[in-house]
Amino acid sequence: MTRESQGGPVSTPETKLGAANSTADRAIDILLVFTEERPVWSAVEIAAHFAMPRSTTYRYLNSLRAYALIIEDESGGYRLGPRVFPLARAAKAGNSILSAAGAELRRLNDRFGEAVSLFQRVGEEIISLDHIESRHPVRITFPRGQMLPWPATASAKVLLAYASRTEQEAILQLLEPVRYTGKTVTDRKALRKMLEKIRVDGFAFSDEEREEGVRAVAAPIFVRGEARYSITLSGLSFRLTDEKLPEIISEVKSTAARISSALATTEY
């Protein structure tokens, strides 16, 4: 909001607050471009990524450097700074789901030796909160966070299946069908039937639907009756055989149920 005067627009407190919010938003946007896959960015790359003038980019970078949220290395690249680590530790310590799930994830990994992940859905994004790698020499890798893919992974299917009907339909309309492999279900009608079955069965199974040679089982974790999280066990299909799947499904579901019960007794 501005007031007009003979000299032109005059800033009001609301205007200044809006500008401050905009500045904070952009600084946060810059912090969020740093990922495990790309931990180092140059100022030129950041400026191009956000279509910002270099002078403006350097101003944001200098502000973040002043708080040690980012640092500049010898080559002129920027990476997250030391002040980020205590923030991450504080976030982890205060997160009930990580406290409740940690031992259960390790137990499941110990039993089968396969990769185990804890996921959360936030809108159209799936975030990996925790992950334990497979103990086998031949393994698969996972991104820490990604936009919800066309539901082909077990985690994506189970989290979508337990979303509210309104959210589920909105997401299905937003996403474009992608045929990752010959087994990917791309027909929306068939997918809706699959999601209904997942709610009845209490788990989701992906049989090489996202990547050839990879199978996965996921089950929902409930908080106050809402499936906010999922636990997923993934591995190569020659190890996750049809004979072994019933045991894996039973254990994944039991693990998710125990975590749900632990959360029910935690102040959340």
Q: 94-264 in CATH: which number?
A: 3.30.450.40
pLDDT at residue 92, rounded to an integer: 57
Domain ranges of the chain: 2-85, 94-264
Predicted confidence (pLDDT) per residue in 17-60, tens digit? 344 457 788 888 999 999 888 999 999 999 999 999 999 999 99
pLDDT: which is higher, 6 or 162? 162
Predicted confidence (pLDDT) per residue in 57-74, tens digit? 999 999 999 988 999 988
**pLDDT exceeds 80 at position 180:** yes
73 φ, ψ (degrees, to nearest 5): -90, 180
Q: 2-85 in CATH: which number?
A: 1.10.10.10
Predicted confidence (pLDDT) per residue in 115-152, tens digit? 999 999 887 778 888 889 988 876 565 554 454 568 88
What Å distances lie between residue 123 and 29, 51, 159, CA to CA? 18, 26, 11
User: Tokens 């019960």 — which residue?
Assistant: 261
